[in-house]
Amino acid sequence: MATAKGRLMRSRLIKIISGLIAFSAVYATDVSGNISSNTIWSLANSPYVVTGNILVASGVTLTIEAGVTVKFDSEKVFQVKGTLIARGTSSSKITFTSNVSSPAAGDWGNLQFFDESTDASFSGSTYTSGSIMEYCIVEYGTGLYIEKSSPFIYYSEFRYNSSYGIKTENPNTTTLLWVTQCDIHDNPI
Q: How does pLDDT run across 51-82, given as a tens digit for each residue? A: 999 999 999 999 999 999 999 999 999 999 99
pLDDT at 83: 98
CA-to-CA distance for 189 and 84, rounded, in angstroms? Answer: 25
Is the dihedral angle over the CA atoms 30, 82, 90, 187 positive or is it negative?
positive
Inform me whether the pLDDT recorded for 14 exceeds 80: no
Spatial strand order in the sheet of 83-87: 39-41, 61-64, 83-87, 132-134, 152-154, 178-180
Inform me whether the pLDDT recorded for 21 exceeds 50: no
pLDDT at 6: 59
Number of alpha helices (DSSP H) and beta strands (DSSP E) in the chain = 1, 19
At 24, the pLDDT band (50, 70, 90 cuts) reads very low
CA-to-CA distance for 13 and 38, rounded, in angstroms? Answer: 42
130 DSSP assignment: S
CA-to-CA distance for 87 and 72, rounded, in angstroms? Answer: 19
Average pLDDT in the chain: 89
CA-to-CA distance for 149 and 20, rounded, in angstroms? Answer: 43
**CA 28 → CA 1, 70, 138, distances in Å?**
43, 10, 19
**CA 88 → CA 64, 75, 151, distances in Å?**
8, 25, 15
pLDDT at 125: 87
pLDDT at 22: 43
